[in-house]
Each structure stands twice: as C-alpha cells, then as structure tokens.
Amino acid sequence: MTDTIETAEARYVTDSLIAEDIDAYLVQHEHKTMLRFITCGSVDDGKSTLIGRLLYDSKMIFEDQLDALTADSKKVGTQGQEIDFALLVDGLAAEREQGITIDVAYRFFNTEKRKFIVADCPGHEQYTRNMVTGASTADLAVILIDARKGVLVQTRRHSYLCHLIGIKNIVLAVNKMDLVDYDQAVFDGIVKDYAEFARSIGIESFTAMPISGFKGDNITTASANTPWYKGPTLVEHLETVEVLSSVDADKPLRLPVQWVNRPNLDFRGFSGLIATGSVKPGDKIRVLPSGKTSAITRVVTYDGDLDEAVAGQSVTVCFEDEIDCSRGSVISVADNPPQTADQFESTIVWLADEALIPGRAYWLKLGTQQVSATVAEPKYTVNVNTMEHMAAKTLDLNAIGVAELTTDKQVVFEPYADNRTLGGFILIDKMTNATVAAGMLNFSLRRSQNVHWQAVDIDRKQHAGLKNQKPAVLWFTGLSGSGKSTIANMVEKKLHRMNRHTFLLDGDNVRHGLNKDLGFTEADRIENIRRVGEVSKLMTDAGLIVITAFISPFQADREMVRAMLPEGEFIEVFIDTPLKVAEARDVKGLYKKARSGELKNFTGIDSPYEAPRNPEVRIDTTVISPEEAAELIVNTLLGDA
C-alpha cells in the first residue's frame, strides 16, 4: 500500500505513528470507535463511486487491486479512460453489466480516528428490501443526490426508510457538483427542497455538503472549487459524529441472553451482546419475563473478567442466586425493567414476493426471542412519495404498513424508538424459513395489559380425570370428497360405544354458526382454522376428545393449531385420497362447479392443498375401507396401534 495518494483535488496523509511505533499504533487502532453507515439514494446518484473513493483515499487498496481496478475501468468502466471507483464495490457481474447496485455491498475501511463499516445500498425501487437490510444496523446515512436531478422519488423513499428505522444522523451529499460547475445556487436549491420534505416526515436535522465522489471534492479535504462551503469534509464529519453505541451506553441495562454458558459443573453464566446500558459486579438485576431478581457477581470475557462492560460488548455474566434464565430472557437493571406484552401496534416493511396473509402464523424473531405471531389486516399503508395513508387488505413487496400484531406468548420489548434490539423484529415464513418482513414495535396495546388469565380451582387435569381419559384433538385433513367426515363420524361412534367423552367439529357445520361470517379466501380459511383451533383447545381443557374434519389445506395453519395444545394432544390424521378419486366421488357437486368457474378458491382446483409431511396417522382410502380406517385411528388414539 502507498503511504500517500494524490489526486487533482485531495492529498491524504497517513498517521506518522505507524512508521515511528507500530505497537503504539496497533494499540491506538484497537481502541478506535466503529461507525456503521450506509449510502443510499436514487439510481446513478454515485453511491458506489463515493465508497470507492473513500476506500481509495483511505489507502485500503493494495497495488495489485489498483492495477486490476485500472484495467477493469478501461474494460467495463463508465468513466472513459479514468478510474471508475464504483467497480471497487459493484462486484456482481450483473451490477457491472448494468452499471447499477443490486445487492447490499459491505466494505470496511479506517482513518486515523475511527473504523468504519459502510453498506452500499441499491437505488432501484425493486431492491428496497435490500436497502432496509443495510440500514437496520447503521448509525448514519449518507443520502446522495445527483446535483443535475435534485430530489427524486427514491431520495424520498430512502429518507423515509432511514427515519423509520431510527437513523438520527443524516448527511445530504449533493454529488456530481463538478457536472454543474460547482454552482452554489444549485446546491442551495436542492438543500431547500430536501429540507421541506425532511420536515414533513419528521427528520429534525441533517448535514448538507457539496461533493464530487469522482473528482474527490470535499471527501477528505476541503475543495478549492467550493470556497463558499464552510462546513466539514465528509471524512471529517464521519470521524466526529456520535456513534449509536455511545448513546446506548447511557441507557438502562438491557442484555438479551443468547445462550447459557455451562462449560463445567463449577461455572454457569449467561452470554449475550449488551444492547444498552452497562453492567458491573454488584449490580442488582432483574430477569424477564420471569421477573426474578439477583445480583451480578462476575462479568466474564475471553480475555478475563471486566470491572465494567458497556453497550456493544459481548460478555458472560454470573448471578449471585440460582434463578431461571435461558436463551430469550432479557437481563435488565432491577429497578427499571423493560415491558412485556403479547399484542402490539407495529410498522412493517414487507420484503417477500408473496404478499402478507393476515392471520397466518409466522415466526417472529425479536433479539434472541423467537415466538409465533400473527399480523392483522393492515390499518393502512404509507405512500412514501406523498406520505398519504392508504387503505389496504394486505402488504405487497416493499410496502410499508401499520398493523396490529399478536404473539402466542409474552415477549420482552421496548418501543423501537427507544431500543432497536428490543423493538426491531423480523418475520419468518414457517414453511420456507425465508425472512418475509422487517418491523418495528411502536407500543403495546392496552387490551393486552388489561386482559389477564383468571386463576381457576378446577383445571384441565381434573376435568380429564373426571372423564377417565386423556384429552386430545384428532385433526382430520384432506381434500373435499376424501372421506374425512365419514371416517370422523365412525371414529366418534366407536369412541362413544367405549364410553369416551367426545365432540365432533365438522367443517360445514361450523360455518353455519361460529364461522358464518367467513368466506373461502386464503385469509378467511386461515381465520376459520384459527377459530376452530381455539374452540378445540377449550374443549380439551374440559377433558374432551375433540374430532375435527376440515380440509385445512395449509401446513402452517395446522401447525398453528398444534402449537396451541400441550405436546402429544394434537393428532394429525391425513385422509390421503388422490384428487382424481375425490373428484370422481363429488357427492356435493363442488368439483364440477369449480371446474366450470362457478366456485372460486376451491382446494385442489384453483387453490393449493399442502399435504402433511409427518402426520401421526395416514389413511390411504384407495386401499382400506372407512371402517378399517376408523379402527386404526381409534387404536392409535388409545395406544393400541
């Protein structure tokens, strides 16, 4: 690496300490603060070029890389015979071919005063989800504007997302000033336009600067081409702005437990990354959601015990008392703990090609906590161009909406505005394990705090004991015409003759009363199954054996019901009948109507059926009779199979 790189506009010199005392330099380097920032804005605003310039001017390029960059610039660059700095960042073949950024590119560099991780975010609207990923951990955002074009739609979109995600430090970098002859009037006009928009979405302040990523103006040293600009250069600002970890260190302790560290019988500690606050031996702490209290005896790291640890450090802490604490628990100061709740208002950025299905159960990951969650129909979506609130039934790719969210158990949280770790979450599809959304918890719903479980003297165990049976749900699933209702009815008759206490919930019968308000859209089908699941759970609490006969076409929804019940009480019975056979029976004439288009969203025709992967019982109706099937199911239930 060269010690000094000179351009027409900038001369950047490394710290002389590196040559005088390498050990002292390394110690100094080790204790530098880290700033994470992103570059964003519209297409061709020069984000990749700016990062390339920062890497170039901070001497993070080896000579062989520089040679390759020079050769690539001539071959696929966009700057004629001059160096195309964007090629240092745009690594995908598709990015180089199109001259755009598609995926988020992370780069590391450092200066004399600070270390940096920068995320180069794509400008195209279709890659907004990639931009959200990069912004989620950033302390600062550099929003670039092409001086020739001014404030564009993507400028507004990315600014809104940065504000939504909680980035407080925003740099408005008016780029390509060399292409407008460094005209101050152009710069001032863009800053004025952006300031009006920024105020409308709640951005309180930002730092504006005229730059040229390609020429190097105001990147590392003040440019002679902009004598009218008296502010800091970009690097000077990045080196001095307050980082998020220093702000978080002043907040109350929040330590999400990642794992219980038990290397031997003599040591038990709780490991995780301190989200906010600080911790030291002797501190009184509270573990949530259990609420148990204790005191810290040790703060342990790989390099030895610490007198104190602060936000941003990964540590293992030991307690004075043996109290319950496991992965997903949150360690906090005893007198100022976070909240717990299971219903929230949330802001959601949808990241998947498949739209949100209201009522569908997703995995929600919040810090180290993972629970099952459902999202209600959105209250509204936000048009980021006009800030208008628009009515919506669902959320499509890149949509931003506000919706109520319910988890299957209490989670420890704080509003996202106060704590990113305990307020920011992702949603994961239970079937594919794909991340489908990122979100922010705004506040808990009052009804979740006002509704409590009422203690009762006669519990489910006593109800079952009185009936001399183990409660269970026999969940029959299969295509229409597969024989679910017929076999379920036979099973109930057999159990009745054996003096078992049962109740049969049939799909058609339930839709005459409890679910008469529901149709057959995917969302309504999910709600239909959720309600039946809740009713089934109440019936098992009463000690009954519940038999249900529903198509229940979606695996995720059947798993949702399984999760409602104690382990072993949900018995999935797959009535495996081929579509051709089921359609041939067509007792109700439904397939005929579906084929003719009279009946929409019919399972097997224009709506999918997801067969169970590992059902407790599988019945092939092409090889055994309904009577034989009923006998097999009863034997399985009673443990005779």
pLDDT value of residue 63: 54
Q: How confident is the model at residue 91 (pLDDT cuts 50, 70, 90)?
A: very low
Mean pLDDT for the stretch of residues 417-422: 90
Look at residue 561 and tell me whether its pLDDT is greater than 60.
yes
Tokens 């490991």 correspond to 271
> Quick check: 44 pLDDT over 80?
no
Radius of gyration of the chain (CA): 31
What pLDDT does 186 receive? Answer: 96
- Mean pLDDT, all residues of the chain: 84
* Confidence band of 28 (pLDDT split at 50, 70, 90): low
Cα–Cα nearest to 134, from 209, 44, 41: 41
Output the pLDDT for position 130. 67
Percent of the chain with pLDDT over 70: 83
126-154: average pLDDT: 81
DSSP 50-75: HHHHHHHHTT---HHHHHHHHHHHHH
Question: Bigger pLDDT: 544 or 34?
Answer: 544
Position 347 confidence tier, pLDDT thresholds 50, 70, 90? very high
Encoded amino acid at 334, one letter: A
Q: Which of 418, 447, 453 is nearest to 344 (CA)?
A: 447
Give yes or no for residue 318 having a pLDDT over 70: yes
CB neighbours of residue 465 within 10 Å:
12
User: pLDDT class for 4, splitting at 50, 70, 90?
Assistant: very low
Dihedral Cα 606, 580, 585, 551, nearest 10 deg: -50
List active site positions.
Answer: 552
- Average pLDDT for 570-598: 87
pLDDT of residue 555 exceeding 50, the answer is yes
pLDDT of residue 168: 87
Residue predicted with more confidence, 129 or 226 = 226
pLDDT value of position 17? 55
Q: Where are the alpha helices (DSSP H) in 205-282?
A: 234-240, 244-248
Identify which of 135, 61, 130 has the alpha carbon closest to the alpha carbon of residue 102: 130
pTM, 2 dp: 0.71
Predicted pLDDT at 68: 57
Residue 188 scores a pLDDT above 60 = yes
Residues whose CB is less than 8 angstroms from the CB of residue 497 and which lie 6 or more positions away in sequence, other chains included? none
Of the pLDDT bands very low, low, confident and very high (cuts 50, 70, 90), residue 641 is very low
pLDDT confidence of 597, banded at 50, 70, 90? confident
pLDDT at 50: 81
Residues 147 and 173 sit within 8 Å (Cβ to Cβ) = no
pLDDT of residue 103: 45
Q: What is the pLDDT of residue 85?
A: 54
> 110-114, 226-230, 625-629: which has the minimum mean pLDDT?
110-114
Instruction: Kindly report the length of the chain.
Output: 641
Higher pLDDT, 68 or 387: 387
Average pLDDT, stretch 548-553?
90
Other CB atoms within a 10 A radius of the CB of residue 328 amount to 18
Which residue's structure tokens are 């004439």? 589
Model confidence pLDDT, tens digit, residues 234-272: 999 998 888 766 678 889 999 999 999 998 888 999 999
Q: 585 or 61: which carries more pLDDT confidence? A: 585
Question: pLDDT-based confidence at 153, cuts 50/70/90?
Answer: confident
* pLDDT at 6 > cutoff 60: no
Calculate mean pLDDT across residues 606-611.
Answer: 87
For residue 451, the model assigns a pLDDT of 57
Mean pLDDT confidence for 393-420: 92
pLDDT bucket at 70, cuts 50 / 70 / 90: low
- State the Cα–Cα distance between residues 191 and 183, nearest whole angstrom: 13
